[in-house]
Amino acid sequence: MATSIPVEVLSAVFQVGELGSETDQRPTLQVLLQQTGDPDHSPGGSTWSLPGGDIGERESLAAAARRHLGAQAGLTRIAHLEQLAVLSAPDRVPRERTIASTYLGLVPRDVPADPAATAAWFDVDALPALVYDHAEVIELARGRLAGKLSYTNLAFALAPERFAMSELSEIYTAALGHHVDATNLLRVLSRRGVVVSTGTVGRTGRSGGRPPALYTFADDELVVTDEFATLRPPP
């Protein structure tokens, strides 16, 4: 007799935010986690997990992912959401076999990062212990993000609507894990028509100087271009 195997959705949602003191802040890639309140179901007694859960009878996988993000983490503004992989190892969840459809989500830097009381943002390089295989999902999502940043305009989903190139280089640096020069980034992205000038300027930074020119992405949906050599990690 055939048995019904539960299916869940899990979402690794990233945003670039600041960590550190008020005088020494650094942009970092952060992931949204929630407290499960069920330490008995995880090795080490972890209570942190990716947002997710079951799928409604007449609900698509993506719709279920968005529903859980809103209900569990208070997150309703997601600029990009795409399916990552299906995890089906028989023992990935103890006690009951469960298949997971996983998602990568991105939130722009200027969207308020105020999650629900049971959720919090964590630096991807300083994560707490996570339940089951959720750390693996985060690594899959990081790899997908880094890969797509090198040949698409996907950074539109992490950047504010208008930005100085210094801010955009901070976003790329945080997402890729290595320095991305602002001047080279502007040259590459403008040549391919990924970013365009708004004809306006922003506020002068703390160190003074000329107000920075502001740019915006030409498209607010995913567009494939070609590989950006400037985004490759240094040798």
Please state the rounded mean pLDDT for residues 190-214.
Answer: 82
CA distance 81 to 154: 11
Query: CA nearest 32: which of 54, 16, 9, 55?
Result: 16
Structural element, H or E, at residue 176 = helix 165-176
Report pLDDT for 96.
Answer: 82
* Separation CA 69–CA 89 (nearest Å): 24
| pLDDT of 106 | 97
User: Helix, strand, coil proportions of the chain in percent (round to 5)?
Assistant: 25, 30, 45
Residue 28 token pair: 């970092």
pLDDT band at 31; cut points 50, 70, 90: very high
DSSP tag of 126:
S
Q: Give percent above pLDDT 70 in the chain.
A: 87
Cα separation of 36 and 130, whole Å?
10
What is the value of pTM for the model shown? 0.90
Q: Residue 144: how many CB atoms within 10 A of its CB?
A: 18
Supply the pLDDT for residue 45: 58
pLDDT over 70 (residue 206): no
Residue-level pLDDT at 212 = 87
Helix (H) / strand (E) containing 183: helix 182-191
The total of other beta-carbon atoms located within 10 Å of residue 91's CB is 9
- The phi, psi pair for 195, rounded to 5°, reads -120, 150
- Please tell me the distance from the alpha carbon of residue 202 to that of residue 209, in angstroms, as a whole number: 12
pLDDT at 21: 46
Ordered domains of the chain (ranges, CATH): 7-132 (3.90.79.10), 150-231 (1.10.10.10)
Amino acid making up residue 101: S
Mark 104-118 as b/e (b = at least 16 C-beta within 10 Å).
bbbbbbeeebebbee
Examine the pLDDT at 160 and tell me if it is beyond 90.
yes
